[in-house]
Amino acid sequence: MENITLKEIIESTNGKLLTPDIPEDTIVRRVISDNRKAQAGDLFIAIVGEKMDGHKFVNPALNAGAVGAIVSKEPEEMLPGKFYVLVPDTLLAVGDLASYYRMQFQIPVIAVTGSVGKTTMKDMIASVLSEKYKVVATEGNYNNNIGVPRTLFRIDRDTEVAVVEMGMNHEGEIRYLTHMAHPTMAVITNIGDAHIGNLGSRENIFKAKCEIFEGLSLGGLAVMNADDEYLVKLKDDENLMSDYKFKWVGEDEDADFGAMSIDDTIQDGLEFTMIVRRTRSGIDERDTIKVPARGRHMIYPVLTATAIAKKLDMSYEEIIAGIKHYKPTAMRMETWKLGNGIIIYNDTYNANPQSMKAGLHTLANTDATKRIAVLGDMLELGDLEEDLHRSVGKKAAELSIDTLITIGKRARYIADEARRGGLTDITSYDDAESAKDQLNDLLTDGAVLYFKASHAMALEKLAQFCKDNA
């Protein structure tokens, strides 16, 4: 982060300075909301959450070296030599400050949203662009109204590109984040069922994801999934089509960046032929692409990263190198190859029906003596909860998964439907701890295990147990 002044903080947040004796040219070197990380020159934001009120930690942060704080409550005691800026809402204030700060840098900012695969998409784009540019990208999946400012504040004078992941579970959240980040390019991975319990329908999810265009700079690049039944509707929106430069990616035969001859049976990754259509020369370009990650769905981040890299004048050699160097974020189809040929796919960070089915496809295409799926509850699916869990069970049966273990009350619907589809080796548990004995017995030579559930199920602990005991 580059230095900002107290004056800039007051003006960007429309705050009231409670300590007028502190000069407005006071320098802030970093913005934090965790007092345990406070250092000299920091600005502490007193975030008020459901379980914690940051105002309790204002003075501890200041005593640790922070030069000032943004608060929404007047403190009973103000430390000498420190500044306090009063605002109505500290969370909105940090967003206002982040928006102001981002606009001090005239760099490409790529916003990424979608129902499934946001973090994988962000990671692939960052990996490719890093071959040529200094890139700041969202760490992990800090993609909400606290995480996006955190990413923007990491931009400095050396940053050449920023890749910002944006998540949501309610209408209006992407609108807020896109106006904060002021993207010059936008990516929507797909429209699925994630958070359908909050938004009511996939149509509403589609509308909420499309809020990203409201902050996209006029003439900016929009890279969309050509195989998504909702996103292709954007082609009928004449205003969007004229305001932004669209590039379409996917298996669709008319996609600008297409994929064919996809081989997802390769044990160390994925291979396909990439077709770049409508090139300046008028001739379609075809290249064989090897991706160091499993799953047919990986064509989308590769094609999207390529489209963006081409826009930013990267060479084919740089793009291929960036794809080769891609590494997934932990718990996102993380692959552990253990002794005796055992493989564990730790895909436990979160789950929705689309991503769980994609993972089952990868499991089914992995050479193994036994293919074992360990699936837990998927949350925030509302009234469609039973049907969507059953759709996963149907897919598991279609793919002839050898052994299915379900964890949680909702996941029993997966088991029921898989059993109806013909699978017989199925066991259901109420909690992960109860599954350990069976899993320990299943850790035999050549077995492949796939773990997937919503984050609250903490299934990563069960995956780690298997890794430790294999």
Positions at the binding site for ATP = 114-120
423: DSSP letter: -
Token pair in block for residue 284: 């379609």
Give the start-end residues of each E strand in 8-116: 16-17, 27-28, 30-32, 42-45, 68-71, 83-86, 109-113
* Structure token digits, residue 217: 């700079």
Between the alpha carbon of residue 212 and those of residues 126, 138, 168, 234, 308, the distances in Å are 19, 17, 11, 13, 17
Q: Helix (H, G, I), strand (E, B), or coil: what is residue 256?
A: coil
Q: Which of 276, 273, 270 is nearest to 306 (CA)?
A: 276
Q: In this structure, are residues 224 and 230 in contact, taking their beta carbons and an 8 Å threshold?
A: no
* Contact assessment for residue 349 and residue 455, using Cβ atoms and an 8 Å cutoff: yes
Helix, strand, coil tally for the chain in percent (to 5): 40, 20, 40
Which residue ranges are tagged as binding site?
A: 114-120
Cβ neighbors of 149 (< 8 A, separation 6 or more) are 31, 94, 95, 97, 98, 180
* CA 295 vs CA 141, 359, 464: distances in Å: 20, 7, 22
In angstroms, the first-to-last Cα distance of the chain is: 44
